Amino acid sequence: LLAAAEKRLLTWMATRLPRWVNSDHPTGLGAAAMLGAGVSYALAPPWPPALLLVVFFLVLNWFGDSLDGTLARVRRHERPRYGFYIDHVLDAVGILLLIGGLFAGGYVSLLPAAAFLLAYYLLTIEIALATHTLGVFRISYWRFGPTELRILLAIGTLQLLNSPWRTIAGHHLLLFPREPGKVGVLDQVSAVLVVVVVSDIQADFMGFCRPC
């Protein structure tokens, strides 16, 4: 949804960064921001303003995670294999820190958190294998990508400042359910698994139509 405007904004920022800043600096900033977001979730129950820090760290994560590749392209210092590897490793660690923070803060119980992580890692494996096998790299599905998901997470986090409950279609539901099987995390896990299946079907179709 935001890809075109985001690309223009990132290019504008990349052309104005000091020369001493290289693509590794935004990468490190994005990784540190995920740690900060996870720690902030863990601190939020006794100190609710920490939820505002979560939103701040999500913005920092967007800045670092989105800008590193753009900066490398603008300066023609691309390292596609290294960039692909380090981004995916840090994303895997980052989501663990984020969900771990939600768990430590008591916003979600162990089983839903583990189920979401497993579904997310399945999607990560699917993306990596499809990229290696078919040369097709996709991080957006149905016009939703990492930036849009960060925005949704930020909105949900701000809602936690008001109440962990939300009324959806007349039902009073926990925003981040603490018990397995509740609407919320279960729907998120199901959505990620649907994306995995659809992506796998698309990859199979492309492989069928392309000579080995």
Q: How far is CA 157 from CA 32, 44, 210, in A?
A: 19, 10, 44
CA distance 88 to 79: 14
Take residue 29 and report the two structure tokens written for it: 């900033």
Which tens digits make up the pLDDT trace of 2-35?
A: 778 888 998 999 999 999 999 999 999 999 999 9
Q: How far apart are the first and last CA of the chain?
A: 34
Which tens digits make up the pLDDT trace of 144-203?
A: 778 888 888 898 888 888 766 555 556 555 556 554 444 444 455 445 444 444 444 444
**Of 42, 204, 200, 38, nearest to 123 (Cα)?**
200
Name residues whose C-beta falls within 8 Å of residue 151's C-beta, 6 or more positions apart in sequence: none
pTM of the model: 0.78
Residue showing tokens 């920490």: 50
Which tens digits make up the pLDDT trace of 47-100?
A: 999 999 999 999 999 999 989 889 998 988 888 888 888 988 999 999 999 999
SS3 76: coil
Predicted pLDDT of residue 83: 85
CA distance 109 to 103: 6
